[in-house]
Amino acid sequence: MNLENLFSPKSIAIVGASEEEGKVGNVIAKNILNLGYLGEIFLVNPKYDRLFERECYKNLNEVEKSVDLAIISIPAKFVAQEIEKNADKIKNYVIISAGFSETGEEGKEREEAIKKIADEKELNILGPNCLGFIIPGLKLNASFAGGMPKEGNIAFVSQSGALAVGIMDIAEKEDIRFSNIISIGNKMDIDESKILEYLADDEKTKVIGMYLEGIRDGKKFIAASQKVSRKKPIVILKAGKTEKSQKAISSHTGALAGSDDITSAVFEKCGIIRAENLGEFFDVLNLVSQTEIPPNGNVAIITNAGGPGVLATDAFLERSLRLGEIDEKTKNSFRKFLPAESSLENPIDMLGDAREDRYDKTLKMLGKDKNIGSIISVLTPQDQTPVAKIARKIISFKKKTEKNISTVFIGGKRVEKSVKKLRESDIPNFKYPDQAVTALNSYYKWSRERNETAKNVEQIDIERKNKASEIIAKVKSSGRKVLYFEEAGKVMKMYGIEPADFWEYGEDLNLESVKFPVVIKVDSDKVLHKTDKKGLILGVKGKEELKNGAEEMKNNFGGERIIIQPMLERQTELILGIKKDAIFGPVVVFGLGGIYTEVLRRVDFLVPPLNIEEVKKNIEKSKIKFLFSETRGQKAYDIDEMAKIILGISQFALENEKVNEFDINPLLVYNNGEKAVAVDIKIII
């Protein structure tokens, strides 16, 4: 539903408005009344006839005129009833009140009651348990945080109201400007996905910054963020990395935090910029807010101080961005005005006595160098440095260039005024060099990858889905929870994965057909870790040995099924599987297998649905990418085969939702043309 009327209301009712100092309803009323909002305002409180020298309504339904938005700040237990009474007329609500799902069972029930009304009557509800929202462009502060932030192009969405207050205070001091500040609280109705879709179409918003502790609906979030991030950058600070902080969250807002690795994989898939901490979060938002997309990945650094230049260079380690090569022509032009001791290589060191003319000319020459996409101007305020004059030169250069321009003026009072001037001319300044590089790298990476997010994903194959379901249903009806290797192999074949050959051990087995050496395995749902329990005999060389081993195993495991597989050459072992994430559903896991799988943790995550190009691109940047290129003493493995297998597993996950656990360990892969083989397949339903 359209959130236009909620976030740009022509009329607002404040339910629970109050003149009593210290009450939330008092702060909200004053914010809406006094900060310049031009729409109609209705105050509602049964206790008063007049409030703030205005009419006060006893009940919301007494307001005869149309109300675009009602802000509710009354005790939790009265909220549902208040909304229900007005739901036919008023469609948009902000519930400020706390006392809902964040507090336990009773609160949860209250929240569900409201949710039901909202669904029935098609209401938009922000909150409950939120700070409200602020739209500086409308001079509308519909929150209980004081003040009016400056108008700008950053939309800031926060799952923590208290954090939003701190950030607004920082923003005031550092001149950070907003299109929207929205506190989403318990996200009962309007969640991060709905907000994203709303902000995608909000013309005043250039970049969306979100502080999230949880994600309500993984699939909706993926769909929304993929769509939105093609249009504008989404920067998310996602809290809850450690187990301890996940605990802190659930006692805090009742959000269910997913595993952090998977969150990262989802963000990567959706083109979301993940900020590692609050500092990075602000840095990226500021940079995107004030500058345009870098036209290419080459950066030039100019500096009047060698040390900071070196520090900036260090910050390029493992980035998509590079320090660009300076064109010979450009270097020659530098020689005409830079002292002989200058460094003409990137970072370009114009020396400590550089004045505005050196900055100016160097910038102009770089401006003509097409190889360079971004320029970071570094400065330390030495006694001979005319800081203000240099800032002016950078500002006038910025007006004439397409390149991405930012500065790192390292200092305090000596640079303060100039930094402000730079900012006013849309040149972001960073306190330290690494911050500039990190932020620029995020912006650039987003611009490169945003159109890569898959549009045409592999579809569900109903026929195959039904066939697989049939096999699984049969297993279930036989009382088992684990598929036999034979059954699992059949399913795998449907998804393009070849199981190892096998023979079932028993009276029917023709020993002449067995090619030695072989492996004997127990094939039972009661023995999941075969090596731990002697359910596995390797290197069986002949018939007698086979018979004895198999019989002994049969005895040991009380007549369970025994299978025999050929001993296969182990060149490279991979592990593949599905992890069911509470938020995002099934996630494909793939990586290096073998004895040290768990220690080395060389695994990556891919979130279905996928298509073959997306899978290939992800293999190419995965932790096993080295397998797929020729290196010393190693022929490349077949990336197309690998991509098909991973896509097969992704489809298997989507088409078999009842499967609880799944892995192939090991999948043997070869670089000599032989096909990959799944030696062990665990499907638990």
Smallest distance from a copy of itself to CB 499, Å:
24
Smallest distance from a copy of itself to CB 556, Å:
19
Query: Nearer to a copy of itself by C-beta: 151 or 573?
Result: 573
Smallest distance from a copy of itself to CB 383, Å:
5
Query: Nearer to a copy of itself by C-beta: 221 or 316?
Result: 316
Q: Which three-class secondary structure state does DSSP give residue 80?
A: helix
Query: Nearer to a copy of itself by C-beta: 412 or 559?
Result: 412
Smallest distance from a copy of itself to CB 411, Å:
4
Query: Nearer to a copy of itself by C-beta: 533 or 543?
Result: 533
Query: Nearer to a copy of itself by C-beta: 653 or 668?
Result: 668
Smallest distance from a copy of itself to CB 206, Å:
23
Query: Nearer to a copy of itself by C-beta: 61 or 597?
Result: 597
| Angstrom distance (rounded) from CA 134 to CA 145 | 9
User: Phi and psi (nearest 5°) for 589?
Assistant: -115, 135
Query: Nearer to a copy of itself by C-beta: 339 or 542?
Result: 339
From the number of C-beta atoms within 10 Å of its C-beta (0-12, 13-18, 19+), residue 25 rates as: buried
Smallest distance from a copy of itself to CB 157, Å:
12
| Angstrom distance (rounded) from CA 477 to CA 473 | 6
Element at 519 (helix H, strand E): strand 518-522
Q: Which three-class secondary structure state does DSSP give residue 18?
A: coil
Query: Nearer to a copy of itself by C-beta: 515 or 529?
Result: 529
* Residue 281 and residue 237 in contact, taking contact as beta carbons nearer than 8 Å: yes
Smallest distance from a copy of itself to CB 61, Å:
30
Query: Nearer to a copy of itself by C-beta: 266 or 419?
Result: 419
Query: Nearer to a copy of itself by C-beta: 243 or 470?
Result: 243
User: Phi and psi (nearest 5°) for 234?
Assistant: -110, 125
| Angstrom distance (rounded) from CA 645 to CA 499 | 12
From the number of C-beta atoms within 10 Å of its C-beta (0-12, 13-18, 19+), residue 586 rates as: buried
| Angstrom distance (rounded) from CA 228 to CA 473 | 40
Element at 669 (helix H, strand E): strand 661-669
* Residue 605 and residue 261 in contact, taking contact as beta carbons nearer than 8 Å: yes
Smallest distance from a copy of itself to CB 129, Å:
11
For 57, residues 6+ apart whose C-beta sits below 8 A from its C-beta are 13, 42, 43, 44, 45, 63
From the number of C-beta atoms within 10 Å of its C-beta (0-12, 13-18, 19+), residue 361 rates as: middle
Write down the residue that tokens 């390797």 correspond to. 538
Query: Nearer to a copy of itself by C-beta: 271 or 381?
Result: 381
Smallest distance from a copy of itself to CB 638, Å:
18
Parallel, antiparallel, or unpaired: how do β-strands 140-143 and 132-135 relate? antiparallel
Copy the structure tokens of residue 124: 């938009």
SS3 for 291-347 is CCCCCCCEEEEEECCHHHHHHHHHCCCCCCCEECCCCHHHHHHHHCCCCCCCECCCC
Q: Which three-class secondary structure state does DSSP give residue 199?
A: helix
Q: Give the amino acid at 389.
A: K
Give strand ranges (E) for 441-486.
none
Can you state the angle between helices 278-290 and 433-449, rounded to 10 degrees? 70
Smallest distance from a copy of itself to CB 312, Å:
8
Query: Nearer to a copy of itself by C-beta: 593 or 648?
Result: 593
Smallest distance from a copy of itself to CB 311, Å:
5
Smallest distance from a copy of itself to CB 572, Å:
9
